[in-house]
Structure 1
Amino acid sequence: MDGFRIPLGSWVATGVDWIKTNLDGFLDAVSFVVTFFVDGLTSLLLLPYFFVLIAAAALIAWIVRSWQLAIGTIISFALIVAMGLWVPAMQTLALVLVAAIVAVLIAVPLGIWSARNATVRAVLKPILDFMQTMPAFVYLIPAIVFFSIGVVPGLVATVIFALPPGVRLTELGIRGVDSETVEAGQAFGAKPGQILRGIQLPLAMPTILAGINQVIMLALSMAVIAGMAGADGLGKMVVEAISTVNIAKGVEAGLGVVLIAVFLDRVTAALGTLGQNPSSLLAMLRSRRARRRSAAVAEASDSGDVDRTPVAEKELQNA
């Protein structure tokens, strides 16, 4: 038994070499597209003055969450600027956003398919388990072989690592929809596609958004590993700090990653309860409109110019 060994690693290496040899054109196309989008988004983020982007980020935080988060966003991003990390922070943000978008575009359809097909679910489950438990560093080896050093292998490894939670939570959300609600739609003659779009997806949206939040967080957690593959940004600075034992540089770059992570986490988590936080700009605007309508109804009622029948009052309340 001492001489018996299954050369599984050699088989995988042979498969990687075959892909590199026979699909070189496809890999070059993937590399070009990924580089184009990441570099383009990085240039777009660096195009305006930093205070313009900080103001836009604070406005987004206020709209979806609260004015407290908006103030925290201004302080966090100002600290990134003060540490001289604005350019690498935007490079990291661009990498994370592109990787998260790609992962979501793959994860959500797979999750829906898995929720509606038991065979697909049975096939995907062990694959997702493998993807989640495999050390993230291992993904870099074939990615670097396929795409060489740079941003592309870092993004590919990030997408693979961040994909499973999006698939699992999308499937969980779709399967968690009340069966009686689905049966009611079927009783009214709705087709499967109409049930999916009109019933299952809206009711499962909070769970799906939670999955998207996890995808973004896992993508950001891969920033350092992407830096090891040569991707520019805060992760590369952390790798350089480790190699030179530069504590100051490592702490500053790590803090930059944390500040970006807090902003993305709070904003994406708030999308599931959009407009429900009383401190958000959307909730404030809705409350102001409701007060104006109530005042208009009260004024019209006092002057006797409004119909006070129950039907009319209900229409005014729903206006």
Structure 2
Amino acid sequence: MFPKNLTFSMADGINNFVDWLVMRYGDSLRHVSDSILSLIVGLEGLLRAIPWWAFLILAGALAWHASKRWTQVVVVVALLYFVGAVGLWDKLMQTLALMMVATLLSVAVGIPLGILSAGNDRFRTVLLPMLDIMQTMPSFVYLIPVLMLFGLGKVPAILATVIYAAPPLIRLTDLGIRQVDKEVMEAVTSFGANRWQKLFGVQIPLALPSIMAGLNQTTMMALSMVVIASMIGARGLGEDVLIGIQTLDVGKGLEAGLAIVILAVVIDRITQAYGKPRHHL
């Protein structure tokens, strides 16, 4: 047995810090929550307003633009049609809206942090252990602080998802920029390019396959949080899986689970196709 006089607890300190955040920045957090909620509700309303057949056409067109393959288009359209055929179209739109907002926030956070990490070794040294913690921490743990700060609903689900899903994008953005050929950068520097011209004209375009791979992983991890996020009111397909577990309704849970898998496959195929160099398509 470990000696009690050598033990200590971090729980009280963490709880006091969260309480201080709520007391000091409660109003600001409420404004942030309202802004994110408005974005989710607006996007969800837009997706629901699109007729199912028009959405299938848009999805097929996106798959064609990404891959230039008709087989890819047929697979994407057929899989999404199947989700509608089993009566989960509305839930699919809810989940897609949540995932798109979570991915958008992950990109807004992840790519700038990846760029900063690639250009600053000291910042990278501090950032990498934090990313390790974010990726290895059990996903349920993220729900506790966001619930304390924002309560039940879609917003805490989104923020917990961003914390869980952003690290791959940060890592692969950093890796992609660092792997840009030094001779190319020396040539660009010799032509008098400034820092921003190097970044947006050379480094990011050459690192795009790596960045798209990070985006692919981020979207997959965001989808993996769908069921967990439903426990705090996120709704969507994860809610049906959760109900299936609670009521032992295997069929309902399996249908919703297959719909989540289908959405993951569709997004994976499209983002992977965009991540490949265009001459490989």
What range is the shorter-chain TM-score in? Answer: over 0.9
Which residue does the alignment assign to 1:160?
A: 163
Q: Give, in whole Å, the separation in 1 of the partners of 2:65 and 2:199.
A: 29
Moved over 3 A (4+): 274-278
Cα gap change, 1:244 to 1:3, in 2 (>3 Å): farther
Answer whether contact 1:112 1:170 (CA < 8 A) is retained.
Answer: yes
Task: Provide the secondary structure at the position in 1 that maps to 2:6.
Answer: coil
Amino acid at match of 2:29: L
**Structure 1 unpaired stretches of 5+:** 279-319
Instruction: Say whether residues 1:187 and 2:154 are aligned partners.
Output: no
Amino acid at match of 1:22: R
Which residue does the alignment assign to 1:30?
A: 32
Percent identity, aligned pairs only?
44
Amino acid at match of 2:211: I
**Superposition map of 1:60-71 within 5 A:** 60-65=62-67, 66-71=69-74
Question: Looking at CA atoms only, which structure, 1 or 2, has the larger radius of gyration?
Answer: 1
Q: Give, in whole Å, the separation in 2 of the partners of 1:210 and 1:172.
A: 11
Alignment equivalent of 1:13, drawn from 3, 15, 23: 15
Answer whether contact 2:209 2:277 (CA < 8 A) is retained.
Answer: no
Shift of 1:274: 6.3
Which residue does the alignment assign to 1:57?
A: 59
Amino acid at match of 1:48: I
Amino acid at match of 2:215: I
Answer whether contact 1:64 1:274 (CA < 8 A) is retained.
Answer: no
Shift of 1:85: 0.3
Q: Give, in whole Å, the separation in 1 of the partners of 2:89 and 2:119.
A: 44
Q: TM-score, normalised by structure 2?
A: 0.96
The size of the alignment, in residue pairs, is: 278
CA deviation string 1:176-211 (max 9, x = no partner): 011111111122222222211222111111111111
Q: TM-score, normalised by structure 1?
A: 0.85
**Structure 2 unpaired stretches of 5+:** none
**Superposition map of 1:129-144 within 5 A:** 129-144=132-147
Amino acid at match of 2:38: F
CA deviation string 1:71-92 (max 9, x = no partner): 1122111111111100111100
Which residue does the alignment assign to 1:309?
A: none
Which residue does the alignment assign to 1:250?
A: 253
Alignment equivalent of 1:173, drawn from 168, 172, 176: 176
Q: Give, in whole Å, the separation in 2 of the partners of 1:220 and 1:96.
A: 7
Shift of 1:52: 1.1
Task: Provide the secondary structure at the position in 2 that maps to 1:232.
Answer: coil
